[in-house]
């Protein structure tokens, strides 16, 4: 595996499957244990460097590292170079000097993880950079899809995935497009034209503006969080209109095939992009599972990046 995980594009099919398989392996190794801890990263230091508040992602990485016995430091970076705090480079050199083996970075600027990787010796894991990518989210989504629809083995060949919502500003969408297509899934983006990035015609995906038209032929519906601030930018007229045209409600859920699942990376705007009865649907909704799987997948990423040497017990 590469030294860093900056983009889902860094992962070929074999590497991606290796992460998913390792996650399954780690998950089994932990299940049934009274003490949820494995030894392979003992003595290694993982720094969570979060420039954006994201309790769920930070906690997920923290748990993942701790369950592998790594030492975890949470470095809540208030303010970047813009707000005249310490520059990212100086922070990077500081962490380097303290001997961080891996830095998990969440940042509001696209490309921040790439920049950080040029300044540190250790591994860099991109935990979300601006509107660019969030590769571990895509990995946990692929893991969840595979468990639900493929018996937790192999790739996603031929599965039909609709990614619905604010694709333009979504790092989750970009990473999922890359990873899911690498794993053989067929991806279609569904969004109002204002929220479709330029150049999508060159992406290996379909793109439609009408949500109803895709639902009957979809195995996975992945809803994206839509920020209400986008209204101010004129991307859509009102939350209500957005919800009517692109929200997943009970009527639309009924149009799905029998085995289709509904995903959301969280945090959700209930009533906006997803109705409560859909989010809580016990058969289709994977939203809680996604959170659980996130820890397993992040364990696998840290394990493989840091070259955990000790054998994993079964």
Partner 1 sequence: MTNPYLLPDERTGMNSLVLRNVRPYGEAQLDVRVENGVITELGSVRPTAADDVVDGQGAVLLPGLVDLHTHLREPGREDAETVQTGSAAAALGGYTAVFAMASTEPCADTAGVVEQVWRLGRQTGLVDVQPIGAVTAGRAGTQLAELGAMADSPARVRVFSDDGFCVSDSALMRRALEYVRAFDGIIAQHAEDPRLTLGAQMNEGVVSGRLGLTGWPAAAEEAIVARDVLLAGHVGSRLHVCHVSTAGSVELLRWAKGKGWAVSAEVTPHHLSLTDDLAESYDPIFKVNPPLRTDADVAALRAGLADGTIDCVATDHAPHAIEDKETEWGAALPGMLGLQTALAIVIETMVEPGLLDWRGVADRMSVAPARIGALAEHGRPIAIGEPANLVVVDPTIRWTVSPAALVSKSRNTPYAGRTLPGRVVATVLRGRLTSRDGAVLDAVPA
Binding residues vs partner 1 (CB under 8 A)? 80-82, 87-89, 107-112, 114-115, 118, 129-133, 171, 174, 197-200, 202-203, 233
C-alpha 167/C-alpha 160 separation (Å) is 17
Active site annotation includes 25: no
Helix (H, G, I), strand (E, B) or coil at 251: helix
Question: Which one, 105 or 299, has the nearer CB to partner 1?
Answer: 105
Write down the least CB distance from residue 88 to partner 1, Å: 6
Query: How big, in percent rounded to 5, are the helix, strand and coil portions of the chain?
Result: 40, 15, 40
Write down the least CB distance from residue 48 to partner 1, Å: 18
- Assigned token pair, 264: 């959301």
Report the relative pairing of strands 220-223 and 102-107 from DSSP bridges. unpaired
Write down the least CB distance from residue 186 to partner 1, Å: 19
Active-site residue among 33, 37, 56, 240? 56
End-to-end CA distance of the chain: 23
Active-site residue among 57, 91, 182, 286? 57
Question: Which one, 132 or 284, has the nearer CB to partner 1?
Answer: 132
Phi/psi-derived region of residue 130, left when phi > 0, alpha when psi is between -120 and 50, beta in every other case: left
Question: Which one, 162 or 205, has the nearer CB to partner 1?
Answer: 205
Active site annotation includes 245: no
C-alpha 259/C-alpha 152 separation (Å) is 16
Active site annotation includes 84: yes
C-alpha 150/C-alpha 27 separation (Å) is 17
Active-site residue among 78, 84, 118, 198? 84
Active site annotation includes 264: no
Active-site residue among 106, 107, 146, 186? 106
Question: Which one, 107 or 284, has the nearer CB to partner 1?
Answer: 107
Question: Which one, 116 or 139, has the nearer CB to partner 1?
Answer: 116
C-alpha 81/C-alpha 277 separation (Å) is 43
Write down the least CB distance from residue 87 to partner 1, Å: 6
Active site annotation includes 134: yes
The residue assigned the tokens 């790439």 is 114
Exposed / middle / buried, residue 70 (Cβ in 10 Å: 0-12, 13-18, 19+): buried
Write down the least CB distance from residue 170 to partner 1, Å: 9
Q: Which residues are catalytic?
A: 56-57, 84, 106, 134
């Amino acid at each position: 595996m590469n030294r860093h995980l900056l983009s889902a594009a860094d992962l070929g099919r074999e590497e991606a499957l290796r992460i998913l398989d390792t996650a399954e392996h780690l998950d089994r190794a932990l299940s049934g244990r009274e003490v949820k801890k494995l030894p392979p990263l003992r003595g290694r230091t993982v720094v969570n460097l979060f420039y954006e508040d994201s309790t769920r992602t930070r906690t997920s990485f923290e748990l993942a590292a701790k369950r592998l016995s790594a030492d975890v430091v949470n470095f809540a970076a208030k303010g970047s170079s813009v707000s005249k705090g310490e520059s990212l480079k100086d922070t990077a050199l500081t962490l380097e000097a303290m001997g961080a083996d891996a830095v998990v970075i969440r940042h509001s600027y696209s490309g921040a993880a790439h920049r950080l990787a040029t300044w540190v010796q250790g591994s860099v894991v991109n935990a979300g950079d601006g509107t660019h990518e969030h590769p571990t989210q895509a990995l946990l989504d692929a893991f969840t899809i595979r468990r639900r629809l493929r018996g937790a083995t192999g790739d996603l060949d031929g599965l039909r995935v609709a990614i619905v919502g604010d694709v333009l500003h979504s790092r989750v969408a970009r990473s999922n497009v890359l990873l899911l297509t690498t794993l053989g899934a067929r991806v279609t983006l569904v969004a109002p034209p204002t929220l479709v990035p330029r150049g999508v015609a060159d992406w290996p995906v379909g793109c439609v503006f009408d949500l109803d038209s895709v639902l009957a032929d979809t195995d996975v519906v992945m809803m994206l969080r839509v920020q209400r601030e986008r209204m101010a930018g004129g991307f859509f007229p009102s939350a209500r209109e957005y919800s009517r045209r692109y929200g997943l409600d009970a009527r639309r859920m009924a149009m799905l095939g029998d085995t289709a699942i509904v995903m959301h990376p969280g945090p959700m705007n209930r009533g906006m992009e997803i109705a409560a009865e859909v989010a809580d649907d016990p058969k289709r909704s994977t939203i809680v599972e996604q959170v659980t799987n996130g820890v397993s997948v992040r364990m696998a990423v840290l394990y493989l990046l840091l070259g955990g040497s000790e054998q994993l017990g079964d």
